[in-house]
């Protein structure tokens, strides 16, 4: 049996260390303080008995749990990130432990009247009777993704202590700067040397994800002509009106606020305009690769149509791909999802398989040659003061990791 208090203590020892990343920094890790936890993790991985524990100049940590079987088993990996988001402060985290949660409001901070309430966050009611770890209302918690790290370290420790559980070679990877989109950038897939891996970075217990958006960004520039308004007849071209034509020609209901599930969208997130020039910035998202390409074509065609109408090049568009749906890379090796699903069922969890409406480090890693679905780490309300994690979910995630290791060794 996993020791609950041990897992709570481990998690708290991580979240009290501030590891906020910084998108404006160009170094890796983006903030020096991420080294504080990284160095601690290196020592801990050594002390629980892992081998080849390494940390490189960019603070990427890798370690190995050697195989304990004679036959050939593919090497698998488990990955999480130790930075926290710059969206909300992660300094001076003071976790609070709520034993056997009663389903009522949780006063996070009486002084500042900050309440974590199931009236607003109804998923709290999934965890009545369980032990919750919350913030004190003034910081984030950092369960994203220190819950993932806790689970991976605890599972490796458990497997070291229980050699009767048979498994192949397992690699552990901890990265900096995931929250600023750079977690996979300097990840050495070859050195990691796994056939596939799982990021332990999802939310609610049971989550298992292997589909994410295809993503691109588009910058639309509209050229106008400024002339004195009193003498403008037949001469002035107001770029803002032409930009409005562009905006209104895209389907109004294919936007984030009108879509869910597998529905893609165009999202206009910035307009800057004067008569002389207007710049529109969009992101384009779609799970389906063909629909994704078609969306990009729609924007190009619209650009051409407007230019034709004005008989000169008034609009230019620049589209850049950002990331792709990992489904393309995972589907050919679907057994890696099946193993995770089976592992969840065997430890008594109902798998919740759904498509991510965003990207993960796993999607980048999948395109770098390491197929990498995402598994729940257990926390809720990431990136803010209402973040919390049920300890029972962390225990279950730890069991899932051990079970995946075991099932992988049994296949073939």
| Binding site feature residues | 81, 144, 179, 201, 383
Question: How many Cα atoms occupy the beta-carbon half-sphere of 83 within 13 Å?
Answer: 28
* Distance set, CA 203 to CA 112, 197, 323, 381 (Å): 27, 18, 21, 9
CA end-to-end span of the chain, whole Å?
A: 28
Picking from 398, 391, 393, 405, the residue whose alpha carbon sits closest to that of residue 8 is 391
Say if residue 29 is preceded by a cis peptide, omega within 30 of 0.
Answer: yes
399 scored as a contact of Zn ion (CB under 5 A): no
145 scored as a contact of Zn ion (CB under 5 A): yes
Ramachandran sector of residue 139 (left: φ over 0; alpha: ψ -120 to 50; beta: rest): beta
Say if residue 145 is preceded by a cis peptide, omega within 30 of 0.
Answer: yes
For Zn ion, the closer of residues 28 and 175 by Cβ is: 175
For Zn ion, the closer of residues 79 and 216 by Cβ is: 79
SS (H, E, C) 131-196: CEEECCCCCCCCHHHHHHHHHHHHHHHHHHHCCCCCCCCEEEEEECCHHHCCCCCCCCHHHHCCCE
Question: Contact letters (x/-) for Zn ion, 335-374, by CB under 5 A?
Answer: ----------------------------------------
For Zn ion, the closer of residues 144 and 286 by Cβ is: 144
CB of 17 to Zn ion, least distance (A): 16
Binding residues for Zn(2+), as ranges, are 81, 144, 179, 201, 383
Q: Confirm if 358 and 264 have CB atoms less than 8 A apart.
A: no
Pick from 22, 144, 209, 211 the residue near Zn ion by CB under 5 A: 144
Stretch that binds Zn ion, among 105-113, 138-146, 218-226, 273-281 (CB under 5 A): 138-146
Q: Cα(277)–Cα(305) distance, rounded to whole angstroms?
A: 19
CB of 209 to Zn ion, least distance (A): 12
Q: Confirm if 352 and 204 have CB atoms less than 8 A apart.
A: yes
Stretch that binds Zn ion, among 93-101, 115-123, 139-147, 398-406 (CB under 5 A): 139-147
Size of the site for Zn ion (CB under 5 A): 3
For Zn ion, the closer of residues 182 and 295 by Cβ is: 182
Question: Contact letters (x/-) for Zn ion, 86-125, by CB under 5 A?
Answer: ----------------------------------------
Task: Look up residue 44 and give its two tokens.
Answer: 């801990």
Question: Contact letters (x/-) for Zn ion, 181-210, by CB under 5 A?
Answer: --------------------x---------
For Zn ion, the closer of residues 157 and 177 by Cβ is: 177
Which entry of 178, 209, 211, 399 is annotated as an active-site residue? 178
Instruction: Indicate if 83 belongs to the active site.
Output: yes
CB of 59 to Zn ion, least distance (A): 16
For Zn ion, the closer of residues 177 and 201 by Cβ is: 201
DSSP string, 308-343: HHHTS--EEEEEEEEE--THHHHGGGTHHHHHHHHH
CB of 80 to Zn ion, least distance (A): 7
Task: Look up residue 94 and give its two tokens.
Answer: 């003071």
CB of 373 to Zn ion, least distance (A): 14
Q: Judging by DSSP bridges, how do beta strands 315-323 and 214-223 pair with one another?
A: antiparallel
Task: Look up residue 341 and give its two tokens.
Answer: 């699903």
Task: Look up residue 187 and give its two tokens.
Answer: 């990840």
Picking from 272, 270, 271, 275, the residue whose alpha carbon sits closest to that of residue 239 is 275
Q: Which residues pair with 280 in a beta bridge?
A: 220, 271
Stretch that binds Zn ion, among 25-33, 136-144, 204-212, 278-286 (CB under 5 A): 136-144
Which entry of 18, 83, 177, 211 is annotated as an active-site residue? 83
CB of 82 to Zn ion, least distance (A): 10
Question: Contact letters (x/-) for Zn ion, 9-48, by CB under 5 A?
Answer: ----------------------------------------
For Zn ion, the closer of residues 362 and 371 by Cβ is: 362
Instruction: Indicate if 119 belongs to the active site.
Output: no
CB of 83 to Zn ion, least distance (A): 9
256: number of Cβ within 10 Å: 15
Catalytic residues: 83, 178
Which positions lie near Zn ion, rule CB under 5 A?
144-145, 201
């Amino acid at each position: 049996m996993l020791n609950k208090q041990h897992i709570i203590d481990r998690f708290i020892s991580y979240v009290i260390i501030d590891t906020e990343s910084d998108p404006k920094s160009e170094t890796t890790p983006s903030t020096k303080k991420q080294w504080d936890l990284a160095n601690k993790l290196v020592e801990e991985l050594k002390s629980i008995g892992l081998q080849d524990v390494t940390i490189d100049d960019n603070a990427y940590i890798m370690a190995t749990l050697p195989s304990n079987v004679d036959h050939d088993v593919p090497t698998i990996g488990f990955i999480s990130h130790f930075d926290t988001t710059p969206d909300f402060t992660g300094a001076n985290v003071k976790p609070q432990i709520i034993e056997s949660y009663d389903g009522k409001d949780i006063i996070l901070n009486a002084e500042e009247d900050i309440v974590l309430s199931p009236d607003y966050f109804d998923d709290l009611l999934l965890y009545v009777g369980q032990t919750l770890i919350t913030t004190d209302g003034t910081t984030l918690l950092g369960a994203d993704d220190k819950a993932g790290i806790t689970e991976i370290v605890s599972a490796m420790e458990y497997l070291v202590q229980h050699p009767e559980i048979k498994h192949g070679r397992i690699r552990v990877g901890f990265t900096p700067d995931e929250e600023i989109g750079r977690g996979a950038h300097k990840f050495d897939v070859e050195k990691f040397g796994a056939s596939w891996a799982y990021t332990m970075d999802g939310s609610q217990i049971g989550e298992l994800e292997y589909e994410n958006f295809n993503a691109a960004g588009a910058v639309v520039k509209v050229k106008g002509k400024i002339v004195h308004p009193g003498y403008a007849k037949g001469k002035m071209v107001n770029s803002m009106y032409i930009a409005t034509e562009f905006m209104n020609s895209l389907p109004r209901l294919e936007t984030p606020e009108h879509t869910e599930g597998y529905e893609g969208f165009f999202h206009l997130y910035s307009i800057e305009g004067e008569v002389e020039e207007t710049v529109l910035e969009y992101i384009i998202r779609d799970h389906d690769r063909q629909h994704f390409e078609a969306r990009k074509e729609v924007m190009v065609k619209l650009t051409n149509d407007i230019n034709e109408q004005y008989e000169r090049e008034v609009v230019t568009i620049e589209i850049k791909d950002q990331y792709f749906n990992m489904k393309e890379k995972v589907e050919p090796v679907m057994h890696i999802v099946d193993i995770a699903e089976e592992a969840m069922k065997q430890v008594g969890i109902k798998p919740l398989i759904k498509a991510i409406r965003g990207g993960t480090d796993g999607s980048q890693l999948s395109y770098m040659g390491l197929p990498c679905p995402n598994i729940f780490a257990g926390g809720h309300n990431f990136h803010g003061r209402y973040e919390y994690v049920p300890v029972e979910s962390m225990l279950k995630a730890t069991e899932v990791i051990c079970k995946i290791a075991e099932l992988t060794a049994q296949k073939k």
